[in-house]
Amino acid sequence: MAKFWHYLGNIAGTILSLALYVELQLFYFYPQKIRLDHMRALVTALVTVVVLFVIFNLYKRQLKEHNDWDFNQTPHWDMRRIGIAIVGFVLIIIVSILMLNSVGRGVSNNQQALDKIELHSKGLFEIMVVFIAPFCEEVIFRGMFFNIFFTKKKITNKCLGIIVSGFLFAYIHDPMLSKFIFVYWGLGMVLAWVYMQTKDLRYSMLVHMCYNAMGFIG
């Protein structure tokens, strides 16, 4: 029974985190709807800090209860894992190019929606896409996912977890299941691989941030 409540609690924490992330996007993607005038920037900053704090601490709380994979162990930074992150960044670019060439021309519905949002977000769009979205998405789709599913430290769980985590990430970005879901799936699997190799979200977050930032270069 205790295992059931532990499992249910982790799912509830993940749903809460996803809901907070969705609500936080309103402050960045639709700032004109937040009627706070000159207090908008301060309120947005405070809400952001609170949401990120809550989400990451829910993740760490899950780890305290069960952590067969030894995630988030100190020290957090070392050259081996930085090297893995660099490899992950190169891989995610290669996968992106290959998958986009495979599915053919066009733009995903998700990207079209983001392009429209960018027109009226007045600089907040970049902050969300480059920093906040990677933070939240890595905690939810990599960190919390592996705290709920595939929790036993086995190679089969690692491989299946990477595939399923990648698909969930893809589905959130392309719920219409268009041909572009394969692109997001590939990206999600690379990010999951980085997390499982480094056992630390900081590295998959870094790769995710760098990849998203490339969309604003040039």
Q: What is the mean pLDDT of the chain?
A: 93
Kindly tell me if the per-residue pLDDT of 170 is higher than 90. yes
> What's the chain's length in residues?
218
CB-based contacts of 56, cutoff 8 Å, min separation 6: 135, 139
C-alpha distances out from residue 56 to 20, 120, 202, Å: 12, 29, 11
Q: Residue range 23-38: average pLDDT?
A: 84
| Site of tokens 């979205």 | 133
Higher-confidence residue: 94 or 66? 94
d(CA 20, CA 208): 20
d(CA 145, CA 150): 8
Tokens of 92: 């995610």
pTM assigned to the model? 0.95
CA angle 121-89-62, nearest 5°? 75
pLDDT digits (tens, 9 = 90+) for 122-157: 678 999 999 999 999 999 999 999 999 999 999 999
Q: How confident is the model at residue 218 (pLDDT cuts 50, 70, 90)?
A: low
Q: How confident is the model at residue 207 (pLDDT cuts 50, 70, 90)?
A: very high
pLDDT given at position 172:
96
CA angle 187-56-4, nearest 5°? 90
CB-based contacts of 82, cutoff 8 Å, min separation 6: 203
pLDDT given at position 123:
79
d(CA 44, CA 124): 10
Kindly tell me if the per-residue pLDDT of 175 is higher than 80. yes
Tokens of 88: 């992950």
